[in-house]
């Protein structure tokens, strides 16, 4: 059941054109889950997040893409999750504007491609353009099932999932605390 409240004040443009939406769904491995979103018709501001109804333990999810069919594997990423692609030396860390989303492996790779393409287009350094071109080639090979690639999602909230029997699920290790002198 989707609940929507319209006419709220937007935190960006301060117009009363913000819609708040909450949807409840059942997601494998996560169970009952709420999807929240805000969208302003005035300025286009958008924010979304995902939260499991039950409290979850922090988690580290590891999935290795080995074939083209793996592009269809469902991915649930909370706004608190960090995504790592170790072989490509790429990491997406959450910030204040980080959003949660439901996608699939292909959609996740498309997000990386978009950032790399934007970097390639805006860079004036030939070395950076070459690096971007090579990264894009590798991602295409992964999408075609020609190159394996490991995806790691680390989520302190436990509200993320990679929905596949091949996903390795571990408890996220606590960060080491430094001693104060």
Instruction: Single out the residue of 4, 80, 11 nearest to residue 43, CA to CA.
Output: 11
The per-residue pLDDT for 29 is: 67
Whether residues 15 and 90 fall in one domain: no
Mean pLDDT across 38-48: 93
Residue found under tokens 């699920």: 169
Of the pLDDT bands very low, low, confident and very high (cuts 50, 70, 90), residue 55 is confident
- Half-sphere exposure for 16 (CA within 13 Å, toward CB): 2
Share above pLDDT 70 across residues of the chain, in percent, rounded to a whole number: 94
Is the domain of 16 the same as that of 80?
no
Does 123 fall in a domain?
Answer: yes
Distance CA 169, CA 163 (A): 11
State mean pLDDT over 87-92.
94
What is the per-residue pLDDT across 5-31, written as a single tens digit (0 to 9) for each? 999 999 999 999 999 999 998 877 677
Compare 52 and 156 and report the one with higher pLDDT: 156
What pTM was computed for the model? 0.77
Whether residue 81 is found in the same domain as residue 11: no
Q: Are residues 66 and 150 in the same domain?
A: yes
Cα 151 off chain centre by: 11
**Phi/psi class of residue 14: alpha, beta or left (left: φ > 0; alpha: ψ in -120 to 50)?**
left
Band the pLDDT of 162: cuts 50, 70, 90: very high
- In a domain? residue 179: no
Asked if 136 and 117 touch (Cβ cutoff 8 Å), the reply is: yes
39 & 59 share domain: no
Q: How many domains does the chain have?
A: 2
- The answer to whether position 1 is within a domain reads yes
Determine the average pLDDT of the residues in 90-103: 90
Q: Strand 149-155 relative to strand 59-65: parallel, antiparallel, unpaired?
A: antiparallel
Residue 161 is inside which H or E element, if any?
Answer: strand 161-163
CATH of residue 124? 2.60.120.1040
Tell me: do 25 and 75 sit in the same domain: no
CA dihedral angle for residue 118, residue 98, residue 92, residue 168, rounded to 10 degrees: -130
Mean pLDDT over the full length of the chain: 90
Distance, in Å, from the CA atom of 99 to the CA atom of 78, rounded to the nearest integer, reads 7
Q: Are residues 40 and 70 in the same domain?
A: no
CATH assignment at residue 18: 2.20.25
Report if residue 80 sits inside a domain: yes
Q: Do 168 and 128 have their domain in common?
A: yes
Per DSSP, the three-state class of 58 is coil
Judged by average pLDDT, the poorest of 19-33, 39-53, 87-101, 131-145 is: 19-33
Give dist(CA 139, CA 146) in Å, integer.
10
Q: Is residue 67 part of a domain?
A: yes
In this prediction, residue 25 carries a pLDDT of 86
User: Looking at the structure, do residues 76 and 161 belong to the same domain, yes or no?
Assistant: yes
Kindly state whether residue 136 falls inside one of the protein's structural domains.
yes
Per-residue pLDDT of 106-155, as tens digits, reads 999 999 999 999 999 998 999 999 999 999 999 999 999 999 999 999 99
Range of the domain at 14: 1-54
Which residue is listed with tokens 């960006």?
Answer: 12
CA–CA separation, 15 and 41 (whole Å): 9
Can you give the pLDDT at residue 175?
56
For residues 118 and 97, the model is more confident at 118
The answer on 75 and 19 residing in a single domain is no
pLDDT of residue 178: 42
């Amino acid at each position: 059941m989707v609940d929507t409240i319209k006419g709220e004040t937007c935190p960006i443009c301060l117009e009363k054109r913000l819609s708040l939406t909450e949807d409840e769904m059942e997601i494998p491995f996560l169970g009952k889950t709420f999807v929240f979103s805000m969208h302003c018709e005035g300025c286009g501001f958008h924010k979304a997040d995902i939260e499991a109804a039950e409290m979850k333990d922090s988690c580290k999810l590891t999935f290795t893409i080995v074939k083209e069919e793996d592009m269809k594997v469902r991915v649930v990423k909370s706004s608190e999750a960090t995504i790592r692609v170790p072989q490509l030396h790429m990491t997406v860390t959450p910030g204040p504007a980080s959003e949660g989303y439901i996608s699939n492996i292909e959609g996740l790779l498309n997000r990386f491609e978009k950032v790399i393409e934007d970097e390639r287009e805006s860079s004036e350094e030939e070395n950076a353009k070459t690096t971007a071109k090579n990264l894009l080639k590798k991602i295409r090979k992964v999408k075609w099932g020609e190159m394996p690639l490991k995806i790691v999602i680390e989520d302190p909230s436990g509200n993320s999932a990679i929905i596949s029997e091949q996903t390795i699920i571990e408890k996220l290790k606590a960060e080491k605390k430094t001693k104060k002198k």
